[in-house]
Every structure is written in structure tokens, then in C-alpha cells.
Structure 1
Amino acid sequence: MPKVKRARGAGGGAEASVSLADQIIQGDLVKPITRVKARGKGRRRGGEEEEDEYVDEKLSRRILEQARIQQEELEAEHGTGREESKKKKTTVLGPVSKDGNSDTEDDEWPSLEKAATMEKGDNCEEVTVNMEDEKAIEMFMNKNPPLRRTLADIIMEKITEKQTEVETVMSEISGRPMPQLDPRVLEVYKGVREVLSKYRSGKLPKAFKIIPALSNWEQILYITEPETWTAAAMYQATRIFSSNLKEKMAQRFYNLVLLPRIRDDIVEYKRLNFHLYMALKKALFKPGAWFKGILIPLCESGTCTLREAIIVGSVLTQCSIPVLHSGAAMLKIAEMEYSGANSIFLRLLIDKKYALPFRVVDALVFHFLAFRTEQRTLPVLWHQCLLTFAQRYKEDLSSEQKEGLLELLKFQSHPQISPEIRRELVNSKCRDVEGMQPEAME
């Protein structure tokens, strides 16, 4: 005869002291569960409390402990520990995160994901250049350009010139020579130089951030050797100097440090590094210094290539620039000796649809009329620039200027573009005719 199973939850001593009738009655009743339940966790259904089943606290601790042990075994098997994963996180270029150590002051720090998905206008991809346009622009380049010096040569020459001037003034006033830099200062900025030559992300040394406030900032800047900075360090330096330097001082930084670095990078890699491109955009924080220190010297050099003009010109299309600065730059470019890059910059500035003063419009007209005696074949970029000018400012021209431009099309014509230019000029009003209409009505 099989053994009778004991009732679950019933004690041996209690069951022996209860009569058989009472045991039968208790067997039909619902017995309370002996485990402890957290208060407020039950749900009521139909007036009765329904209890949720939970994993015991000790069992949860054991499950988590086993999961941690298995994770450590997997990491040890694949050779990736916690320290190595932390090192990987610190080398990621990106915005401020919980695990990262990026600079909290940089709100526009570009991440690698953003850099990988940038459009061609941001120059993360190689710029495609039309060979015919490039050859046409080379015809108007300076055939005997001056010897191109390195960035160190330019900075050293300027510093020596400035230092000689200051020493002369100091000796005349006080009769004593200008004191040299303290060896401790040299030691500090040599350490800054080492940091900037390996910089990728994070905070910059405070000694570097105070350079714009120093009277001899160019001399201190030379000690850090800007030609050895990484592209990310150049971007951070441009942020600091464009925000804290005056316009003339920022112009010198753009011209002596930023522009040579950008041109060298384009020549070497056939495209511009993402951080350098962002530095070029950040430099427009001071538009006057940007035009005087980057755009105008680039046009005056006579050696600006089509690739450089396209990359630098793309900054003009993406950024908002005050009309007075753009108008002054257009006036200067229109009056200087022509090179193929001038047409690119003029067309991009004209296409921003400014309400230009008549002085700038007249200068642009004289710029185009100067090509009536040009014997060389003009590039397509020149005709495109003239078409853009006719489309945007055709009603700001006088009748004499319009007749001169129509006469120009007989000497310099393009089979597809010149008819469009003529149509724009013919089907438009003149500014002097509009001014005469009220007098005729009176």
C-alpha cells in the first residue's frame, strides 16, 4: 500500500492534535501562503487579492553574480578587459558624454559620425575638379610666383621684425634692452607644444588659453610651433583666438597660421581636413579679419588653384556674412588683377543677393568691361559670374552700363551662356530710367 502524502504546509504536531472532522473541514478551505509579500504589490480582481510572483532577493543576487562571472570570463577569453574598453572610450572624438572626457566648453565639437555623414559642401570627400576649367584658370595664374615660405619662416620673420622694433623703442625710452623670456615660461610653453602636437580631444592647457591676453602673443605662439599642431588643435586654437583677439590681431593669426596650414593640407591630400574646415568656418566669427587675412591674400597671391577656390568658397555659401563686409570684399576683388579664382568668389558673393550700394555695382561693371581687350580665352567661370551678376543686379544698372555690357558680349561670348546674359539685360529696367519716371509724370 503506497504511503499517504502529507498535506502541504501542514505541521506534524498540529495535525495530530486536530480531530478528523476538523481536518476534513480545513481541507476544503483556502490556506494562506506563508511567504512574505511586499505591501501594495497585490492586485484585486473580483474583490479578491491576486498575488504576483516575484523572484526571491537571494536568488536575484545569485543570478546577477553568475552573470557577472560569465561576463568576466568572456572578456578574459576575447582579450578585452574593462581597462581596455575605457581606453577606447577616451579616444573617441565626439560630444560630451557620461564616459567621455571631451571639453565641456565646446558645444560644436564635431563627432566622427557627423564627419562621416557630412555632405560634399563640407569637404569631407574629395572635391572633383573639371580639368578644362583648371587649365583655363592656370592661364591666368602668376607665372613667376614668389618663393613659398614655410609657416615657421613667416612667423619667425614677423616676430623678429616686431621684436627688433620693440627693443629699439624700449632702449630709446629707458636706455635698457628688452628683457628676454623667463626660462620657466619657455619650459611651460614647450610642454604646451607637446600637448598640441598630439591633441585629439578634451580640454586644452590653461597656459594656451591665456595667449590672446599677452602683449607678446606672437612670440609665445611661435614657441608652441603651430606647424606641428594637429588639425583638432588648430580648430580649438581658432575658436580661442577668433573670440578673444581684436580684429587686426585675429587677421594676423588667420594670415600667418591658419591660411598656410589650409593651403598645405589641400595640396598634400587633395581635400581639406574636417577640423580645418570647421576652423575656417569658425574664423568667420570676425568677418573683416577673415576677408583681410584669408580671402584677399588668397586672391592676391595669384597662385590660388581651382580646388582651393571651391573649398574656401563653400564657406561663403554656408555662412551668413554682413553686407558691408561682403560689399567691401567684392569691391577689392573687382579692382585687383584678375585670376580665375576671383570669378568663383565674386559669383558666390553675388549669389547671396545682397542689396549692394551703387558703388559696388559700378565697380563690378567696370571689372567686366575691362575684358573687352582681353585676347586670352576666358574660362567658363567668368561667363557664369557675369550671368549671375546680370540676373541679380540687372535693374541696378544704368542705361550706359547696360549698353556697355551688351557691347562686351560681342567680344567675349559663350555659345550657351551669352544668349542668357543678353536676354536678362534686354528684358530689364534701368535705374536711371526709373528715376526719371516721376519727373515725367509731374
Structure 2
Amino acid sequence: MGKAKKIKVSKGQSRPEKVGLAEQIEGEKVVKPKLQKKVRLRDDDDEEFVDANLSRKILSQARKQQMELEDENEFGESSSGKKLATKLGPDLSDNEFDDSDNEVTGNEYYEDIEINEEDERSLQMFMRHDKAPTRTLGDIIMEKLNEKKTEIETQFSEVGSIQIQEIDPRVQTMYEGVGDVLVKYRSGKLPKAFKIIPQVRNWEQILAITQPHRWSAAAMYQATRVFASNFRDNMAQRFYNLVLLPRIRDDLAEYKRLNFHLYQALRKALFKPGGFMKGILLPLLESGDCTLREAVIVGSVIAKNSIPILHSSAAILKIAEMEYTGANSIFLRIFLDKKYALPYRVVDGVVFHFLKFERETKELPVLWHQAFLTFVQRYKSDISSEQKESLLQLLKKQYHHTITPEIRRELQHAQCRDAEISEPMMEDPFL
């Protein structure tokens, strides 16, 4: 039988009192509360502050969570609050379309663009002055209603691509109230009645009741998000063309700069690239009076976002074939700078576009020469030998003192697609 172990007691502890066996047995029958010693983490007189770096990280995460809770609300002001100016002219560089331009100023405008007066005068020479008045969604709806007024009163009718239907007075009153909400809208959730408009057959007629021309810029962005997510390309195209594009052009004409919410609406519209090309880009160029400011801002949206090659190729071919108005060169240069592997048909279309100016007597803007240089730099190996000689002849008619020598140098060192590559014959090791 071993010896009983002694209980070690530290200096700070008192020795346990001797208790009899009977008292120990009785004591085990009763549950005793445990006395927990409370540990005070900090003293009020000696407070410890969180480190500055940790505070910055906590605030950053809190901001991200707040943005998520606001349902991707991108209306906040930029922390820097600085304005970036974009200068156009001979030194037009890729940095002008950098992501750093995407800032919100204190007045919630996208950017203040500095326009080169010489380039603007050059573009005005190619603008179409007999422009037809812009038609909005409200104008088209009222025209169709006046034409078919008697028919609408009796039955449902379909006029062109717009569905016209007699609307219940209660529904009309409700959507007039929705329109009043969108006029003052700044942030938060949209009315539920507005979100179901894409599911209605006569959505254009319902949308006209809300008077889109009176919406706030923030409401226009939210509406673009809703319609871009729920519409097919052809329906989104009509919304972009009849509602979004007129609003953007009016905003630029009035304030000479684009509201940040409308710029975000342009970026969101690219969710449907086919609708964007047919509803915004091509109508803007076909109007014949696209200004330099409009071309740069819409072009920056194209430059900053990824677009499928099929949509871009179709847009390049269409721009190359349409009547030249000056802004075409800006969009051609932006698309060519994306470095797509374009089909030969598109490359040939761009070559013919430049060759059309061989007999042009007007002085071409610098932007035309820049687009020409970009095309040669990116696709000089995709042109044929015949096209190469024709482009070299074009340089003798259309000349720029700094850009043309660079274009000629690129063409002279180009390896054309139909040139035979001569390889040295390999000797047969068995001979």
C-alpha cells in the first residue's frame, strides 16, 4: 500500500481546513454554487484604442456591407472628389479612357471634358445640318393614339411594334403616382408596380404614363437595370433608343457634362450588347449630329467594358459603311484598340472605309488619322498586298505631318496575309 500524496499549496493560498468524514458525505449531497472570479478586461482610467490600420480595415468592410445592403447602389460620392479633365486633340492617348475617369464629383457629374475647339470645328464640317427632330417614346405613343383613337375605344389593336390597349383608369392613376415617385427618387427600392412593367404586353404605353423625361437621373439608372435584366435584345433596344438615349443627349446639351447616374446607366445598358449597339451607338451616329463630347463619353463606356466579338464586328462593319460624320473615327479607334481577331470581311470593310477618302477635298480631322494609324498597327498583317499598295497611295492624298510618316512606316514593314513565306529547304539526313 503506497503512501498518501501530500497536497502542495502555493504561498498565496491558505491551507484547506480539516473536515470530518461525516461532514464530507453530507456536503456532497448538496450542490454548491461555483464562485467564478470576474476578470476585468480593461480599466476605465486606462483605455486602449484600436490601431489606426485596423480601424481603416473595419470601416472598409463596413462600407462594403452597406453597399451590398443597398442592392448595388453605386450612387455614392467619390472619396477623392476631384474632377478629371479629358483633353482631345493630336495627343489623344489611351489614358483618356482609363478607369480613373469614373469618378463622382461633388455635383454628381461624371466628368468635365475639355473640348479642343479645332477638332470640334473639323467635326462640324462633316455633320448633317438637315437633321430630323428627335422622337421620344411619348411622341410615338401619342401619334399612334391619335391615328387609332376610334379603334382603341372599341377593341385591342396592334400598331407597328407598339402594343396599344385601353387602360383601366385605376391603373393609369397608379402609374401616374409611380411617375411622381420617380421624379423625386434618389435611392432605395423602386415601387413594385414599376418592376412589373417588363412583364406587361403594352409596356411602352404603360411606361409613357410615368413620363420618363421627368425622371431623376438616379431613377433612370434603376430603370435601366430593371429593363436590361428582364428584356430581350429587341425590347431593350427600344427602351435604349426611345428613353435612355434622348435623356443622355439632352443632359449633355444642357449641362455640357453627363450626370454620373446616367453614365452608370450607359454602362448597365451594355448588359444587352445587341440592344446597346442598335439602340444607342448606331442611332447616335446615324443622326448625323453626334458631337465630340457625346462620342467621347459613349466611347469610354465601350472602351471600359468587355463586348462579345460578334457584336463588335457587326458594329465596326456598320460604322465603316455608313456616311462619315467625324465621330465615326472615335468609335472605330476604340473598337480597333480592343485587339479583336476580326474576320477578313470586317478588315476589308475598314480598308474600304479609309479608301473612300482618297478624293476627299475637305481637311480631315486628326481623329481620322489616329484611327487610320490604330488600324494599321493592329491589323497590318490581315490586309492583302493590293490593299497595302492602295493605302500607301492614300497617304499621298491625305497627309498629317506627324501621323502619316508613322502609318507609312507600319505599312512598309507589314507582312500581308497573301504573301508567301519562303522557308529554307531542309536537307534530307538520309541522303
8 Å CA contact 2:284–2:290 kept in 1: the answer is yes
Please say if 1:283 is aligned against 2:264. Answer: no
Question: C-alpha deviations, 1:66-104, integer Å up to 9, x for none?
Answer: xxxxxxxxxxxxxxxxxxxxxxxxxxxx9764xxxx894
8 Å CA contact 1:103–1:201 kept in 2: the answer is no
Please say if 1:252 is aligned against 2:238. Answer: yes
**SS in structure 2 opposite 1:147?**
coil
2:405 is matched with 419
1:293 is matched with which residue: 259, 262, 279? Answer: 279
8 Å CA contact 1:387–1:421 kept in 2: the answer is yes
Gaps of at least 5 residues in structure 1 are: 1-37, 43-50, 56-93, 173-177
1:304 is matched with which residue: 270, 285, 290? Answer: 290
8 Å CA contact 1:344–1:385 kept in 2: the answer is yes
Question: C-alpha deviations, 1:120-150, integer Å up to 9, x for none?
Answer: 3557221111110000000000022123456
| RMSD of equivalent CA atoms | 3.2
Please say if 1:337 is aligned against 2:334. Answer: no
2:76 is matched with 111
Asked which structure has the greater CA Rg, the reply is: 1
1:352 is matched with 338
| Segment drifting more, 267-276 vs 107-116 | 107-116
- Structure 1 segment 256-267 matched on structure 2, within 5 A: 256-267=242-253
Q: Which amino acid aligns with 2:101?
A: K
1:229 is matched with 215
Please say if 1:40 is aligned against 2:37. Answer: yes
**SS in structure 1 opposite 2:270?**
helix
- Whole-angstrom CA distance in 2 between matches of 1:351 and 1:124: 23
1:138 is matched with 124
The alignment-based identity, stated in percent, is 61
Question: CA offset at residue 169 of structure 1?
Answer: 8.7
Q: Which amino acid aligns with 2:231?
A: L
Q: Which amino acid aligns with 1:313?
A: G
8 Å CA contact 1:141–1:302 kept in 2: the answer is yes
2:114 is matched with which residue: 128, 131, 135? Answer: 128
Q: 1:212 to 1:368 in 2, by over 3 A?
A: same
**SS in structure 2 opposite 1:112?**
coil
1:74 is matched with none
2:176 is matched with 190
- Whole-angstrom CA distance in 2 between matches of 1:344 and 1:169: 49
8 Å CA contact 1:347–1:389 kept in 2: the answer is yes
**SS in structure 2 opposite 1:416?**
coil
Q: Which amino acid aligns with 2:203?
A: W
TM-score (norm 1): 0.73
Gaps of at least 5 residues in structure 2 are: 1-34, 45-62, 84-99, 104-108, 159-163, 427-431
Q: 1:114 to 1:278 in 2, by over 3 A?
A: farther
2:417 is matched with 431
Q: Which amino acid aligns with 2:219?
A: A
Give the paired residue count.
351
Q: 1:281 to 1:115 in 2, by over 3 A?
A: farther
- Whole-angstrom CA distance in 1 between matches of 2:263 and 2:241: 15
**SS in structure 1 opposite 2:361?**
coil
- Whole-angstrom CA distance in 1 between matches of 2:404 and 2:269: 37
Question: CA offset at residue 163 of structure 1?
Answer: 8.5
